[in-house]
Amino acid sequence: MNLTLKIWRQKSANDKGKMVDYKVAGISEHMSFLEMMDVLNEQLINSGEEPVSFDHDCREGICGSCSMFINGEAHGPVKGTTTCQLHMRSFNDGDTIYIEPFRAKAFPVIKDLVVNRSSFDRIQHSGGFISVNTSGNTQDANATPIPKHDADLAMDAAACIGCGACVATCKNSSAMLFVGAKVSQYALLPQGQVEAKERAQNMVAQMDAEGFGNCTNTGACEVECPKGISLSNIARMNREFLSGAIK
């Protein structure tokens, strides 16, 4: 298929940036979206132009690196899918595709489609862990049985890949789905109980400090999340936050 691409080009963090038009031809429906971008970049290199920079790594939907806003949707039109797992069979010959970076105050653009998501890391530094040293002398792994239901819910929350689609999608650029998922994973496990109160307080405080917005329950984050992280994690975080605030 032949496509017109309208892509955000921005030389550096301080550059103003603009949409630029490109044409690509001979795209197979079996290609992934990023392989289509590879074709474009090969074309640009061969004509002596600078290729489009974009974050990507595992290309199997798990590392959370890829981060494009495609036709107004984080990771494009297919639900439950990262950009690297989006395939060109979801588009038609002759389509015009708009490709932009994830946009949020807390995700400044570095170059073209590459953004800085280190604000997510800093939220994790503020409490995204259980304080246990690597001694090898912790109790036996089966010493504390955990109800399967709780373990499964913790796993569902832990499935977050930290891509930032929730933030990019939210009209408030809120990171509450991301933070809610991490708080929930630990809140659901007995190992996480000891520090549960401080964790919710600290992570929320850092989230606010990074300039993420608040949640107004529109639920767009859940819709666009490639890993299907549930909104109920936000509710759980709010509960943890509130109960932590009451001394």
Applying the rule CB under 8 A, the residues between 189 and 218 that interact with another protein are 189, 191-192
- 65, 169, 174, 233: which one contacts another protein (CB under 8 A)? 65
Closest CA to 7 of 31, 33, 28: 33
DSSP 57-104: -SSSS-S----EEETTEET-SSTT--GGG-BGGGS-TT-EEEEEE---
Give the nearest distance from C-beta 41 to another protein in angstroms.
8
For the bound state, the minimum distance from the C-beta of residue 142 to another protein, rounded and expressed in Å, comes to: 5
Tokens, residue 52: 């489009």
16 binds another protein (CB under 8 A): no
Asked if 117 is part of the footprint of another protein (rule: CB under 8 A), the reply reads yes
Task: Return the number of the residue (77 or 80) whose C-beta is nearest another protein.
Answer: 80
**In the complex, minimum distance from the CB of residue 70 to another protein, in angstroms, rounded to a whole number:** 16
**Does position 94 bind another protein by CB under 8 A?**
no
- Encoded tokens for 164: 């930032």
Minimum distance, C-beta of residue 236 to another protein, in the bound complex (Å): 15
Question: Is 76 an interacting residue with respect to another protein (CB under 8 A)?
Answer: no
Stretch that binds another protein, among 53-61, 92-100, 170-178, 234-242 (CB under 8 A): 53-61
Identity of the residue numbered 161? I
Q: Which of 6, 22, 124, 238 touches another protein by CB under 8 A? A: 124
The 21-40 site mask, x for binding another protein (CB under 8 A), equals -------x-xxx-xx--xx-
> Contact region for another protein (CB under 8 A) — 96-104, 114-122, 170-178, 238-246?
114-122
Examine residue 49 and tell whether it contacts another protein (CB under 8 A). Answer: yes
Q: Which of 85, 173, 174, 233 binds another protein (CB under 8 A)?
A: 85
The angle subtended at Cα 116 by Cα 111 and Cα 119, nearest 5°, is 165
DSSP 9-48: E-SSTTS--EEEEEEE----TTSBHHHHHHHHHHHHHHTT
